[in-house]
Chain A
Amino acid sequence: MSTTSDVTAVPPGSPPGEPPSAADPDLARHLTCLGDDALVLAQRLCQWITRAPTIDEDLALSNIALDLIGHARTLLSRAGRLDGTGRGEDDLAYSRSEREFTNALLTELPNGDFAMTVARQLAYTHYAVLHYEALTHCADPGLAAFGVRAAKEVAFHRLHADRWTVTLGRGTPESTRRMQRALERVWPYTGELFEENDVLRRLAASGTVPSPAALHDTWLARVTEVVTEAGLAVPAPSWSATGGRSGLHTEEFGPLIAELQSVRRQFPGGTW
């Protein structure tokens, strides 16, 4: 397995200067959630490649997916050490069953039309950037350095999402209609991003991550600004989807994971 990221470059064990890989199951679970978000969303974006509205957009979406895979690799390999199992990025990506993935349902939503993808990107990027910015203050220097890099990369993805939201919102009557519809469809899945749970409460109490509720206000203010500039209405959904964080996914998730893992599972004991 090749390890190129700054965090995974340190082999497991007790490298000098690294905090001991003592199990921190709470942080491991949090990093797994973020890593699964990035991995599953990247998998969805990969489905766009060769199908985007322009070739430039094939390029833009693949750039974003490439960054997301990078984030997933760092986060999952770190999680595999912190949970005490010593699993690597590929063990976690390719050997877990769908019930063991803890990505938010938002990230697994099917691509739909381009507006759906933009709406999903809008919600995700504004959310992820907050978590990565928070990681920059993390006591673990490896994670803090990762946070700096990932926050910058996602900030660029956010520009992409903002620009397309406004472009489609204020483009043609058809694009306005599609963009508003996409926001309506995606919005019920944004609540899960900010759900409190015991893990997050403990991490927030120790100052490791900010509380989701605090992030929500910032998120909402920022996306509202973009949606308003796009001349669209911020949806007020009457329901909120949940389940991903505890491994209860949509029915569309099974095929996504089956596809992700198919080659590797087909060749047990293979080397790649």
Chain B
Amino acid sequence: MTAPTTTPTPATVDAAAAPDEDELLAHFDALIAGGETIEPRDWMPDGYRRMLVRQIAQHAHSEIIGMQPEGAWLTRAPSLHRKSVLLAKVQDEAGHGLYLYSAAETLGVDRADLLDALHHGRQRASATFNHPALTWADTGAIAWLTDGAAVINQAPLCRTSYGPYARAMRRVCQEEAFHVRQGYDLMRALCEGTREQKEMAQDAVNRWWLPAVALMFGPPDTEAGGADARTAALGAAVSRRAMAWGIKRHTNDELRQRFVDTCVPQAERLGLTLPDPAIRWNEERGHYDFTPVDWDTYRTALGDDTHWARGRIAHRLAAHEDGAWVREAAVAYAARTDEPAGAAA
């Protein structure tokens, strides 16, 4: 069982002599090496805790900000069936954000602080969602490509070393299985439709391929993946640290390759063209080649400091500020009913 989110009441037990840091670290390393999970009230190195908070928070923020491009199409979904599906998907994203905030809170941070950090630019969501969803087909392309990338990224996280994160991710991955499938299904319906519908589908893929392939996996971290030596070294250092701690299990570039290998045959089945002329099967490697995501490509894909990047945060902040009086009312009401008799029975 997970330890509670906030500090429980300490019991009065004579503490054994506090073990020194080396001993604690050795115990921690042994747990990681043995493939055991680290649980909230275990001792852990500060760097491990910080890396987790940053990663889980960014992931949670991405789920919440990621609701926006698709959420904008809820009112325009072209059939009641598609409307239900999209609503269920956007709702799952809210849910996944909340599972992850809950996991982050076991590390001793407060979700209100995390949201505050998102609202004021101290923490970020994935830049993938800095791109606009311009047509209905974008909702399909996002689900098929972006969620498809997310699943590849996230599947290994179900075995990440931090227990609450791994458990949240198992829940997320189970639920996300339908997201990719319905995205593919939506695109297939468009490809089987009128010429205009198919054009809309192709246009959406043209715009969402790069954000998915470049941004969902993080910056390049191997020279083979397209980074120059210095970048690869830097990226690899971060990845190595995360992998040593069992937070990550693969390099960014490994997962990116896996994504390309998955998507190419799917695109062929749909009759859509992925917008990268370099994509071709490499018999020798047993993988598809594709244009490496070098730093320039990565920077281009970021879409930072654009109308949309600013807009996503402004939208989120406006909702938060407009709702302040509601949240205050809920707390005030609870405080009132907590008093004498009405307390939580």
Contacts and interface: CB of A to CB of B under 8 A. Distances in A.
Direct touching of A and B (C-beta under 8 Å): yes
Interface string A1-19: 1101000000000000000
Interface stretch (A61-69, A148-156, A183-191, A199-207): A61-69
B87 A46 contact: yes
B344 to A, nearest CB: 15
Interface in A222-272: 259-260, 262-264, 267-272
A87 interface: no
A233 to B, nearest CB: 18
B287 interface: no
Contacts of B330: 167, 171
A28 interface: no
A172 interface: yes
A172 to B, nearest CB: 5
B129 to A, nearest CB: 11
B41 interface: no
A1 B80 CA distance: 9
B326 interface: yes
A267 B78 contact: yes
A59 B326 contact: no
Contact of B326 (A47, A114, A270): A114
Contact of B87 (A69, A166, A264): A69
Q: How big is the B interface, by class? A: 35 or more
B107 interface: no
A72 B87 CA distance: 15
A70 interface: yes
Contact of A69 (B84, B136, B194): B84
A262 B76 contact: yes
Contacts of A263: 76-78, 136
Interface in B40-79: 64, 67-68, 71, 74-79
Contact of A1 (B67, B79, B192): B79
Contact of A174 (B77, B136, B325): B325
Contacts of A259: 75-76
B88 interface: yes
A90 B80 contact: yes
A85 interface: no
Given A172-B329, A264-B78, A53 B98 contact: no
Nearest to A170: B333
Interface string B321-340: 01111111110110010000
B91 A114 contact: no
B197 A56 contact: no
A186 to B, nearest CB: 17
A208 interface: no
A4 B333 contact: no
Given A171-B332, A272-B189, A178 B76 contact: no
Given A50-B71, A55-B98, A58-B67, A66 B87 contact: yes
Contact of B333 (A72, A167, A268): A167
B81 A94 contact: no
Interface SS majority for chain A: helix
A54 B67 contact: no
B75 A46 contact: yes
B81 A51 contact: no
A90 B79 contact: yes
A267 B198 CA distance: 11
A168 interface: yes
A270 B88 contact: no
A51 B194 CA distance: 34
Nearest to B67: A50
B194 A267 contact: yes
A169 to B, nearest CB: 9
B76 A172 contact: no
B326 to A, nearest CB: 4
Nearest to A175: B329
Contact of B328 (A56, A59, A172, A260): A172
Contact of A167 (B91, B98, B200, B329): B329
A34 B228 CA distance: 63
A58 B70 CA distance: 14
A19 B326 CA distance: 49
A77 to B, nearest CB: 9
Given A114-B323, A262-B76, A171 B328 contact: yes
A72 B316 CA distance: 30
A172 B84 contact: no
A225 B137 CA distance: 47
A89 interface: yes
| The 9 residue pairs across chains A and B that have the minimum distance between CB atoms | A53-B323, A171-B329, A175-B329, A53-B326, A46-B74, A62-B91, A264-B78, A271-B193, A263-B78
20 contacts: A1-B79, A46-B75, A46-B87, A49-B74, A49-B91, A52-B319, A55-B94, A69-B87, A89-B80, A90-B80, A114-B323, A170-B336, A175-B326, A175-B328, A175-B329, A259-B75, A263-B136, A264-B78, A267-B194, A268-B194
Interface of A: 1-2, 4, 39, 43, 46-47, 49-59, 62-63, 65-66, 69-70, 72-73, 89-90, 93-94, 113-114, 166-168, 170-172, 174-175, 178, 259-260, 262-264, 267-272
